[in-house]
Structure 1
Amino acid sequence: MKEILGDSVLILGYGREGKSTHQYLLEHYSDKKIGIADQREIKPIDSVAKLYAGKDYLKAVINYDVIVRSPGISLQLPELQAAINSGRKLTSATNIFFSECPGMIIGITGTKGKSTTSSLIAHILGKEYPDVRLVGNIGLPALDYLSGADKKTVFVAELSSHQLEDIHYSPHIAVILAIVPEHLDRYGDFSSYVKAKGQILRYQTPNDIVIFNPSHDIVAQLVSTNPAKKYRLSLKRRKDAFSFLDQGDIFIQKESNRPQFVLHRQEIPLLGEGNIENTLAAITVSHLLNVSLGEIREAIFEFRSLKHRLEFVGEYHGIRFYNDSLATVPEATIHALKALGDDVETLIAGGHDRGLDFSKLGEFLRKRKLRSLVLFPPTGEKIWQAMAKTIPKERLPQRYDVSSMEEAVRIAFQTTPSGKICLLSPASASFGLFRDYAEKGNQFKKYVKNLSSKD
């Protein structure tokens, strides 16, 4: 199905994906009249028929045959709904990619673990396939990587809820990781967020594949009516699991055959139980695509954690520093604390408020022996209240409220004992004081290294 029909195309949102779409249209649809609309001011662009910038940018949508929506722009905006009702075609860079991709697409979604799982899948498949391309929400716009692809090209696509909510296609292989509340400021409620994630399955057929952990009830419900072939993974041994963890070892099991050993848990160079599940998903995809167990093992041994995901920054003055700035939901921070164990004595948390529930994190923190809790607004107060409501004052960690990363790191150096860990794991989005999680993590790493050289 062609996504670009008609004579005129409006690119709605001119960030990374919007710019990628613009370049792709210039190369492949040079006969179309192209417009660009963005709430921010945009410098003049020679190849664009018209620019629409500022608060009234959405008025442009009614003037174009096709509207290519960037993921950051809500599908529910009244102006977009009015354009759809008047016969305009609404699409996205993700839809264009799926419609024009000649090769196989493996799509990965879930709340956390998408980037690590996608990167590990691409790394393992590279042992067997000569042309594997990692694309999508990981920061690699898919349209930038279509050039030169053919039917033998394998695309590994990380897909966010924003990219999936209006998708018209499904990947041949869909991997769905755990889904927990996130982006509630955009979706309004958890069920709408889950529905957006579930769109990855909507167009699958009996010839396609879905990989999931049935212990995640929400994911299991999404998969239950899906016609695709189902491959299960599990953190414990079960008869219906294709890949599973049993007594510290990872196995695969094909139908009625005996389980085959893959590797020991401690050989996985990634921290935390969440990364065991990510590894199981990558093993399942790779072995279904005929990568040998030897090649899978070799690739896993080589793999290293990604930036901002339980990233070891270094040891300074005897203090180990870890950057987990991509932990934008409470569950991710819990996973990080479990992975690093009782040596964590300073936690830096808090950030943008998306309406998430911090009660589980508060309950978990009540059982820990933190020395210092360094908190960014506005969710820092919510995290503190969730933890402090049932714990005696004498057992509370020392609280520090901060408004800059330099201040947070300075406190960490002053209060964390030698031999212990300082962990940045916000349990919240980073907007407000920081542009995004990457800027927050990069500032953390910068100040750790800068302040370590000072007495």
Structure 2
Amino acid sequence: MYLNELKNKKILVLGFGKEGKDNYLALRKLFPEKTFAIADKLEFKELPKKTQKLLKQDKQLKLHFGKNYLRSLKNYQLIIKTPGISLRNIRPFLKKKTKVISQTEIFFEYCPGKIIGVTGTKGKGTTSSLIYQILKNGKLRVHLIGNIGRPVFQALLRAKASDIFVYEISSHQLQTLKKSPFIAVFLNLYPDHLDYYKNFKEYCRAKESIARYQTKKDYFIYNSEQKLLREIAKKSKAKRIPIPTNYEFLIHPPKFCKAKFRRAGIRIPLTGKFNLQNIMAAVTVGKIFGVSDRKIIQTIENFKPLPHRLEFVGRYKEIEFYNDSFATIPQATIAALDALGKRVKTLILGGSSKKEIDFPLLAKKILKSKIENLILFPDTGKEIWQEILNLKKKSKNLPKSFFVSSMAEAVKTAYQCTKKGSICLLSPASASFSLFRNYKERGNLFKKDVKSFARS
């Protein structure tokens, strides 16, 4: 269905980030002579020089770059939208008969192999990567695609029936999906991306698509500790498998996973209870595909944690530094504090504000953890500090507060106020956009400044 539409209709690729570029390259490979268009809010001159040259050389390409890019939508019949652009924002610019589709929809429609879809507010990347490594070490023909793997269309063009695709899928990618994967892994569900959705309910509805269209031949692996996910599981026709939650699986493996783990003999390179859950979800997928216990154990022991997820930066001037820049919601920071324990004496947090994100639980956790120093970025730094002040009657000892406006200032302050032998943790509980382009830039600057100030 989609290939005929792609061939016969006027197409526009909306958004030119990583996925948009993949869309463009795949379309050009499929249709070398076809004229189509690209639209993005960036000015053309803001693109990398190499990308500018690539697009200028394509004589069959129309370009709509800059702040008025959405006005071009009315001239096209088929829009291939990238996930970061909200449907709500583009609807006023569409004609009634204009169809909006996504890369994810096309992949699910035409993929000849098996798809393992992994979603959740947090933990998708780690779990997807671990599943991929387990299946790869089990000698299966497996590919990691999406946000942390190969470009999706590039993988689709080479896909075979024997292939397995591990696809980390965000709520944005799930929102318009009309098919569900062979194995759906749903890790957790917390308020997030509420600058993109009307409310938390709409966000949940988008996430549900991962299980909504499953059949009896499929599998739904989910976190049964969360009521919302138990409700979603009830709607799935697939074989439902709760992620084991006793956290003693290394000694007493769940019946479904017969791997004979032994805690004393296994090194787990991932910190925190939430990562044990990610591991158990990945183990369950491995057993569905028949990967041996030995291979699963080897994979867990040799797994390298992803950057910016409770990443140990190093020990400098007798202080341990951890980079958890990927923690963009309060629940993630609470999990990080649980994982590292009461040795955390300095916490760097705050960032851009999101509607419907509340901080009371985080404030309680900070006071309970007896953190001594809070280093706070705008905008949410003030909100978090106010929540702590609201609780001051219930706590005798408030942490010291330091309001900063740059990463260098934050790290310099951390060195000055953190006790030797303790931990300084960057775990912002907020998005990055008040001061940084994204969580990666924020985390990389933290690591750079930690090492730079260590030498001073």
Q: Give the TM-score band, short-chain normalised.
A: over 0.9
Matched AA of 1:211: I
1:71 aligns with one of 83, 106, 121: 83
In the alignment, what sits opposite 1:262?
A: 261
Aligned-residue Cα RMSD (Å) equals 1.9
Question: Is residue 108–residue 118 contact of structure 1 (8 Å, CA) maintained in 2?
Answer: yes
Counterpart for residue 69 of structure 2? 57
In the TM superposition, residue 139 of structure 1 has moved relative to its aligned partner by: 6.0
**Following superposition of structure 1 onto structure 2, how do residues 9-408 of structure 1 map, counting pairs within 5 Å?**
9-42=11-44, 43=52, 45-47=56-58, 48-79=60-91, 82-83=94-95, 86-138=96-148, 140-236=150-246, 245-246=247-248, 249-254=251-256, 261-264=260-263, 267-355=267-355, 356-392=357-393, 395-408=397-410
Distance 1:260 1:77 in 2: 48
Mean CA deviation greater in 128-137 or 385-394? 385-394
**Deviation string, structure 1 residues 275-295 (Cα, Å, up to 9, x no partner):** 011001000001011101111
Which string of whole-angstrom CA distances, capped at 9 and with x for unpartnered residues, describes residues 6-35 of structure 1? 332100111111111000101113343210
Q: Distance in 1 between matches of 2:88 and 2:335?
A: 33
Change (3 A) 1:3 1:383: farther
Which runs of 5 or more residues in structure 2 are unaligned? 45-51
In structure 2, do the counterparts of structure 1 residues 74 and 250 end up closer, same or farther at CA, with 3 Å as the change threshold? farther
Partner of residue 47, structure 2: none
Deviation at 1:82, TM superposition (A): 3.6
Partner of 2:49: none
Distance 1:350 1:3 in 2: 45
* TM-score computed with the length of structure 2 as normaliser: 0.92
Deviation at 1:248?
Answer: 6.3
The percentage of counterpart residues that share the same residue type is 44
Identify if the C-alpha distance between structure 1 residues 234 and 345 changes in structure 2 by more than 3 Å, giving closer, same or farther.
Answer: same
Contact 1:4 1:66 in 2 (8 A): no
Is the CA contact 1:14–1:37 (under 8 Å) kept in the aligned structure 2?
yes
Check conservation: 1:310, 1:324, Cα contact below 8 A: yes
| C-alpha distance in structure 1 between counterparts of 2:381 and 2:118, whole Å | 31
Shift of 1:250: 5.0
48-57 vs 107-116, which deviates more?
48-57
Shift of 1:253: 0.7
Aligned to 1:239: none
* Secondary structure, aligned partner of 2:420: coil
Alpha-carbon distance in structure 2 between the residues aligned to 1:88 and 1:346 = 52
The Cα offsets for residues 367-401 of structure 1, whole Å up to 9 and x where unpaired, read as: 12111100001000111112221225861111000
Is contact 1:9–1:32 with CA below 8 Å preserved after alignment?
no
CA contact (8 A) 1:253 1:260 kept: no
Moved more, 195-204 or 175-184: 195-204
State the number of aligned residues: 441
Whether the 8 Å contact between 1:372 and 1:398 is mirrored in structure 2 is: yes
TM-score, normalised on structure 1? 0.93
Distance 2:431 2:155 in 1: 29
Q: What runs of 5+ residues in structure 1 fail to find an aligned partner?
A: 237-244
Matched residue of 1:45: which SS?
Answer: helix
The AA in structure 2 aligned to 1:271 is T
Q: Alpha-carbon deviation of 1:247?
A: 7.9
| Deviation of the 1:78 alpha carbon | 5.0
Amino acid of the structure 1 residue aligned with 2:449: Y
Q: Is the 8 A contact 1:366 1:388 kept in 2?
A: no
Amino acid of the structure 2 residue aligned with 1:264: R
Cα deviation, residue 148, structure 1: 2.9
Determine if contact 1:108/1:158 at 8 Å carries over to the other structure: yes
Equivalent residue letter for 2:398 = L
Alpha-carbon distance, 1:450 to partner: 0.7
Mapped partners of 2:134, 2:215: distance in 1: 26
Tell me the SS of whatever aligns to 1:180. coil
Find the residue that maps to 1:235 and give its secondary structure. coil
Name the aligned partner's letter for residue 380 of structure 2. Answer: T
**CA distance in 2: counterparts of 1:433 and 1:139, whole angstroms:** 27
178-187 or 130-139: bigger deviation:
130-139
Equivalent pair of 2:114/2:161 in contact (CA under 8 Å): yes
1:236-262 CA distance string (max 9 Å, x none): 2xxxxxxxx33863513139xxx6533
1:241 matched to which residue of 2? none
Query: Distance in 1 between the 2:334 and 2:162 partners?
Result: 40
Q: Distance in 2 between matches of 1:313 and 1:153?
A: 36
Q: After TM superposition, give the deviation of residue 131 of structure 1 in Å.
A: 2.6
Relative to structure 1, is the Cα distance of residues 73 and 124 closer, same or farther in structure 2, using a 3 angstrom cutoff?
same
Report the AA paired with residue 45 of structure 1.
K
